[in-house]
Structure 1
Amino acid sequence: MIENVHSEVYSIFIESLIKDPQEKKETFEAAHTNSCVKRKTEWAQRYIESQSSFSTRLLAFACVEGIFFSASFCAIFYMKKQGLMPGLSFSNELIARDEGMHRDFACLLLRERAADPSKETLTLETALEVVREAVEIEKEFVRDALRVDLLGMNADLMQEYVEFCADHLLSNVVAFDKAKGVHRTAGPMYHARNPFDWMESISLTGKTNFFEKRVSEYQKSNVARSTDKASNFDIFKFTQTEDF
């Protein structure tokens, strides 16, 4: 499981970077002892284990991947911008890429379900409520973690970035607007801007020199494929056959 790999990577960095035994213990147990981190865990479990519709639980999963990690990823990329901890930064690029794919896949499933009349549909009201809850929890985490202003980063800017990530997620989700009787894009809700221009470059395709280090992006499929095989691409068309 890829999440196990992510956990192992972060565990190794905690072991390597935190020397104080008590601080190390608190970091490892944060999901149970830190109130802000604990709230994230409890929120995710409440939705995943609930009797809510599959679409609602799917959106909650997308929020975990796309909102609950946003501030932490941004903080680590801030260190990359400062030229600090290249090993941690590169590992985080790989992990952020995976979590971004999980979020995007959840959004794709939600759009596919919205286009299928036989599937139950996520309502706009529910979509906004779920995302709003996730954003408030992540903002609380930001205020607790970022108590000291840094050069080019503070709690207010980070909270705006969380809202920006939420808008990006909602803009990729289709929900049913009961008031208008139509399916439409769920966002944006906050109309937030990205306060960290350097985060834009993180999203761009990697241009890493092959002889310097590995590229932190997935290899693209071969575009030199012969045209006589073009018809075979139909077998790669995404379909959803399971009735959830």
Structure 2
Amino acid sequence: MLNSDHQSTAPAIPGTPPAIQRIKASDKRIINGQTDVNQLVPFKYKWAWEKYLATCANHWMPQEVNMARDVALWKAPADLSGEERAMLVRNLGIFVSAASLAPDNIVLAIYRNITAPECRQFLLRQAFEEAVHTSSYQHIIESLGLDEEEIAGSYQALPSVEDKEQFLRPFMAAISDPDFRTATHENAQVLLKTLIVFGCLMQGLLGHVAYAQVIALGRQAKMAGTAEQFQFILRDESMHCNFATDLINQYKTENPLLWTPEFKQELRVLFHKAVALEIAYAEESMPTAMLDLNAAMFGGYLRQTANRRAQLIGLEALFPTEENPLPWLSAIVFFETRVIEHQSDGALSWD
């Protein structure tokens, strides 16, 4: 159904319904569009539709992943160290407790401010995938027979976790206000900044230490089903970042006056802050080396990742070039938009 704003103003013949004005693809806009947000075609942002199809082709569900070996290993006291067990419980606690941040931000804030239906279609899929991630964490917790109350409080001794949440919440709160509109220059910048924080930093950087710690277990043939689900999730998040990058760049193209030197400087500060916050988590959660990882290794990875995220949206590199000590993690995070074939037995084919 089309909005009444899109009906023709030509005189109607008595006894006939008014003519409906056709939507032109060229009239669509990322924000402040005047075309019907329910009218998917004709396409203007075909890239968004293609990314939507790619995520659908990458569909998976946690119940498809065999957890039998994980359960047996978890029940064997000598097969996992105390540090490895504490690490897994802590990271599950972080993700299951913060899992609502991403879907809430999409459904309650971003979706209603984006007026391009192709992009809104991807956001709906993204919200569903975030719900799948939440169910994945719960699937692991239930499979291993973990105490839910213990899980919920397992990370609270680490100030860096609360610091990351405090960093993110103001951006989400700003555009969650029902009265928020992007009609002004200031508010259009607020939404753009939130998209960058959400897409490039929250999903593209923060949390990567925890993902890496769990995936590293799988690289040592431990907790393979759990590690596989975390790898699925990180791949999903990488596809979300790819979409966010294109959305941000299209937003900038249609609203070039927003991309001021002052605005770019604000973004540089935010990138530096995010890197510092994630390094702090690496240092707090990994005071000694484990699983062939140590806190110092994450510094190089995070700075290099921040450089790439910044450059993809038109900012210059923020940190001096240095060697990435975790190339296997970058290979997961920056696999571009290649579709992953998900097998029903829980195995991935990384084409």
- Judge same fold: TM > 0.5, yes or no: yes
2: CA distance between counterparts of 1:70 and 1:143? 13
Q: Could you list the runs of 5+ residues in structure 1 that have no partner in the other structure? A: 175-184, 220-244
Which residue of 191, 205, 218 corresponds with 1:54? 191
2: CA distance between counterparts of 1:35 and 1:8? 26
Which residue of 267, 271, 282 corresponds with 1:142? 282
Aligned partners of 1:74 and 1:199 also within 8 Å: yes
Structure 2 length-normalised TM:
0.51
1: CA distance between counterparts of 2:145 and 2:272? 34
Shift of 1:154: 0.6
Aligned partners of 1:143 and 1:155 also within 8 Å: yes
2: CA distance between counterparts of 1:106 and 1:79? 29
Q: How many residues align?
A: 205
Shift of 1:190: 4.3
1:10 alignment partner in structure 2 = 137
2:159 alignment partner in structure 1 = 35
Shift of 1:56: 0.9
Bigger relative contact order, structure 1 or 2 (CA pairs below 8 A, ≥6 apart):
2
Aligned partners of 2:217 and 2:291 also within 8 Å: no
Aligned partners of 1:76 and 1:92 also within 8 Å: yes
1: CA distance between counterparts of 2:343 and 2:129? 25
Aligned partners of 1:113 and 1:120 also within 8 Å: no
Q: What's the secondary structure of 1:92's corresponding residue?
A: helix
Moved over 4 A (4+): 30-34, 203-213
Structure 1 length-normalised TM:
0.71
Question: Residue 32 and residue 154 in structure 1: after superposition, are their counterparts in 2 closer, same or farther (change >3 A)?
Answer: closer
2: CA distance between counterparts of 1:46 and 1:207? 34
2:236 alignment partner in structure 1 = 98
Aligned partners of 1:124 and 1:186 also within 8 Å: no
% same residue: 19
Q: Which stretch shifts more, 194-203 or 57-66?
A: 194-203
Q: What's the secondary structure of 2:312's corresponding residue?
A: coil
Aligned partners of 2:215 and 2:228 also within 8 Å: no
